Amino acid sequence: MTALICGSMAYDTVMMFEGRFRDHILPDRLHVLNVAFLTPSMRRNFGGCAGNIAYNLKLLGGDGLIMATVGHDFAPYGEWLARWQIARTHVRVVPDEFTAQAYITTDLDNNQITAFHPGAMNHSHLNRVSDSSGVKLGIVAPDGRAGMLEHTEQFAAAGLPFVFDPGQGLPMFGGEELRAFIERAAWVAVNDYEASVLSERTGWSLEHIAAKVRALIVTRGAEGSWIFAGSERLEIPVVAAARVVDPTGCGDAYRAGLLYGLERGLDWATTGRIAALVASIKIEQHGTQQHHFSADEFQQRFRAVFGYAL
């Protein structure tokens, strides 16, 4: 079963400032802010929600098809996808735009200042769900606003169940639009902060949202995650990482685990544990696509952590 992954593709440029922002940003001078931070170390990672989800799903042995828009500078990312045999059939190049870019500066307190250029992502509505074939489910992850709205409608019109994953795109939508997303979705996946915002903007409690979909998934960082399915609220435990290096992309890794479980018709308790383990493995490495494991290695670690085999 193939999952259509609608979302962003981006380059993440991550820089480390070996100081603290608070020592250089004066509260009484914010109205004339003009600062520069020397960043001796820098990494450029392949990222974006669709790319991250597809990469993790590939590691698990799942089947994902990316649908995204990228810019004229996409070649290095395209070569990376080819290396991992991740299909680019529905990755559309917009010649006059850059691929979406995030520039992230982190200080010694793990505070971050981020600048994000959406570039080609704003053209995601040029892709249509009906352009794909052989897909049985999908996900609408953070992307261009028009693309998220239209892809949701297209999934519903095609009768294809999908995960609604608003993520950092949540602020773009009002209550009426968010209620429409939920009404069309089969599953909703958010973190605990996004869950609060989603509830406040829609005027619906989490229980009310859960009643409208097959399952509502709420990740809660170090507290694990909740999966509201039917009348149950399953408690999915967090998987302790060998070392905590970089949480960026953990949410996307978790969602890849969800898609893997959905593709295989697994129960929610197992699906949630797969997702939690993928997220834990990701947090042990810098970047969003620098961690690696084979399907056998994952199954061995799953058994060691949870005490039963997949």
Stretch among 109-118, 154-163, 181-190, 191-200 having the lowest mean pLDDT:
109-118
How much is the pLDDT for 140? 98
Q: What is the structure's pLDDT at 161?
A: 98
| Model confidence at 216: pLDDT above 90 | yes
Q: Quote the pLDDT of residue 269.
A: 97
Read off the DSSP letter of residue 140.
Answer: E
109-141 confidence digits (pLDDT tens): 878 888 999 999 999 999 999 999 999 999 999
Task: Report whether pLDDT(246) > 90.
Answer: no
Q: Half-sphere exposure of residue 70, counting CA atoms within 13 Å on the CB side?
A: 26
CA 286 to chain centre: 16
pLDDT of the residue at 231: 87
Quickly state the pLDDT bin for 142 (edges 50, 70, 90): very high
The four Cα atoms 243, 223, 112, 198 give a dihedral, to 10 degrees, of: 150
pLDDT of residue 253: 97
What structural domains and CATH numbers belong to the chain? 2-10+47-99+118-306 (3.40.1190.20)
The token duo for 82 is 């080819």
Residue 30 burial (CB count, 10 A): 8
- Per-residue pLDDT at 29: 73
Strand partners, 140: 6, 164
- Cβ-contact 238, 223 below 8 angstroms: yes
pLDDT, residue 34, reads 86
Nearest CA among 7, 51, 81 for reference residue 288: 51
**pLDDT of residue 35 exceeding 80:** yes
- Does the pLDDT value for residue 45 go beyond 90? yes
Q: Supply the DSSP symbol for 72.
A: T
Chain-centre distance for alpha carbon 13: 17
Predicted confidence (pLDDT) per residue in 60-80, tens digit: 999 999 999 999 999 999 999
pLDDT value of position 205: 97
**Two structure tokens written together for 162:** 């999908």
